[in-house]
Amino acid sequence: MDLAAQESTEEALSMRLIMLACCFCSFVIMSGTAGAAATDPRRISLQISGYALSAEVAATYASRAQGLMFREHLDESAGMLFVFPKNAYYGMWMKNTMIPLSVAFIDEKGFIINIADMQPHTLSAYYSAGQAKYALEMNIGWFSQRKINAGDQVVGLELVPVVAD
């Protein structure tokens, strides 16, 4: 093989390696993005009166504002745990929420303060009866069907991230 042909072959090989490296980097970046989406929002396992549930954690202003809006389905023992930045009186509403839900307002020690049943597509506000640190939304009737009431403790909240916003 002459020198010009060898240089041309090496140049083609270098181009292929660069293209392959670019494809690999794109794949890694896309995989990282997909992996991040799969793990976000975070889920946490909780227990109340011996009943296990899995909750998405809404611990940022944006995730709390979005909540369960526009969802068409919520699995039987799945819900959303809203984590507030401080203990206070909080209210929830159902604007753009398609699923009837029950919300349990929970204090900083993990005790349920009160539970309210909420109807979809309403602007009515449902408030905590005391200063809450968390709110747990589940399918409507989930708490009452299990005879879970104010005063019952939610176990597993110690694993919830701290909120700063």
What digits encode the pLDDT tens for the residues 20-60? 444 333 333 333 333 333 343 489 999 999 999 999 999 99
Instruction: Count the alpha carbons within 13 Å of 155 in the hemisphere toward its beta carbon.
Output: 6
CA distance linking residue 153 with residue 156, whole number of Å:
10
Please give the C-alpha separations between residue 5 and each of 12, 17, 18, in angstroms, as whole numbers: 11, 18, 20
Of 67 and 40, more confident: 67
On the question of pLDDT at 9 being above 80, the answer is no
Q: How far from the centroid of its chain's Cα atoms is residue 15's Cα?
A: 43
Residue listed under structure tokens 């202003």: 61
CA distance linking residue 17 with residue 26, whole number of Å:
14
Predicted local confidence at residue 88, as pLDDT = 97
Nearest to 57 by CA among 164, 165, 159: 159
Cβ-contact 120, 163 below 8 angstroms: no
Cβ-contact 135, 90 below 8 angstroms: yes
Nearest to 165 by CA among 65, 70, 41, 93: 65
